[in-house]
Amino acid sequence: MTENRLSVQGLNIDYPTARVVNNLSFTLGNERLALVGESGSGKSMTARALMGLVRKPGIVSAEKLEVLGRNLLTLNQRGWRSLRGNDIAMVLQDPRYALNPVQTIQAQLEEALTLHQRLNRRIRLEKVQDAIAAVGLDLPVLSRYPGELSGGMGQRVMIAIALLNNPQVLIADEPTSALDSRLRHQILELLVEQCEQRKMAMLLISHDLPLVAEHCHRVLVMYRGSRVDEMPARELPQATHPYTRTLWTCRPDATTYGQMLPTLDRTQNLTEAASEHR
Ligand X SMILES: Nc1ncnc2c1ncn2[C@@H]1O[C@H](COP(=O)(O)OP(=O)(O)O)[C@@H](O)[C@H]1O
Q: Using CB under 6 A as the criterion, which residues of the chain lie in contact with ligand X when the complex forms?
A: 15, 17, 20, 37, 39-45
CB of 217 to Mg ion, least distance (A): 21
Contact 13, 50 (CB under 8 A): no
Beta-ladder partners of 170: 89, 202
Q: Is 194 a binder of Mg ion (CB under 5 A)?
A: no
* Chain centroid, CA 254 distance in Å: 26
For 10-73, the DSSP string reads EEEEE-SS-EEEEEEEEEE-SSEEEEE-STTSSHHHHHHHHTT-PPTT-EEE-SEEEETTEEGG
Nearest residue to 220 via CA among 61, 5, 46: 46
Q: Is 206 a binder of Mg ion (CB under 5 A)?
A: no
Q: Is 176 a binder of Mg ion (CB under 5 A)?
A: no
Q: Choose from ligand X, Mg ion, none: what does 127 bind? Cβ within 5-8 Å by kind.
A: none
CB of 4 to ligand X, least distance (A): 22
User: Closer to ligand X at the Cβ: 39 or 275?
Assistant: 39
Contact 106, 142 (CB under 8 A): yes
Q: What angle do CA 78, 174, 208 make, to 5 degrees?
A: 150
CB of 21 to ligand X, least distance (A): 7
Catalogue the E-assigned strands of the chain.
Answer: 6-14, 19-28, 32-36, 59-61, 64-67, 70-71, 88-91, 169-173, 201-205, 218-223, 226-232
CB of 216 to Mg ion, least distance (A): 17
Q: Choose from ligand X, Mg ion, none: what does 20 bind? Cβ within 5-8 Å by kind.
A: ligand X
CB of 125 to ligand X, least distance (A): 37
Q: What are phi and psi of 66, to 5 degrees?
A: -130, 140
Q: Choose from Mg ion, ligand X, none: what does 41 bind? Cβ within 5-8 Å by kind.
A: ligand X
Q: Choose from ligand X, Mg ion, none: what does 84 bind? Cβ within 5-8 Å by kind.
A: none
CB of 16 to ligand X, least distance (A): 8
Q: How far apart are CA 93 and CA 142, in angstroms?
A: 21
User: Closer to Mg ion at the Cβ: 44 or 106?
Assistant: 44
User: Closer to ligand X at the Cβ: 11 or 188?
Assistant: 11
Q: Choose from Mg ion, ligand X, none: what does 45 bind? Cβ within 5-8 Å by kind.
A: ligand X
Figure out which of the listed residues 8, 13, 20, 44 binds Mg ion, where binding follows CB under 5 A: 44
CB of 52 to ligand X, least distance (A): 15
Omega before 57 within 30 of 0, i.e. cis: yes
User: Closer to ligand X at the Cβ: 54 or 164?
Assistant: 54
Distance (Å) of CA 34 to CA 41, 64, 99: 14, 20, 25
User: Closer to ligand X at the Cβ: 155 or 226?
Assistant: 226
- Position closest to ligand X via CB: 44
User: Closer to ligand X at the Cβ: 162 or 171?
Assistant: 171
Beta-ladder partners of 32: 202
Q: Please report, as ranges, the residues that interact with Mg ion according to CB under 5 A.
A: 44
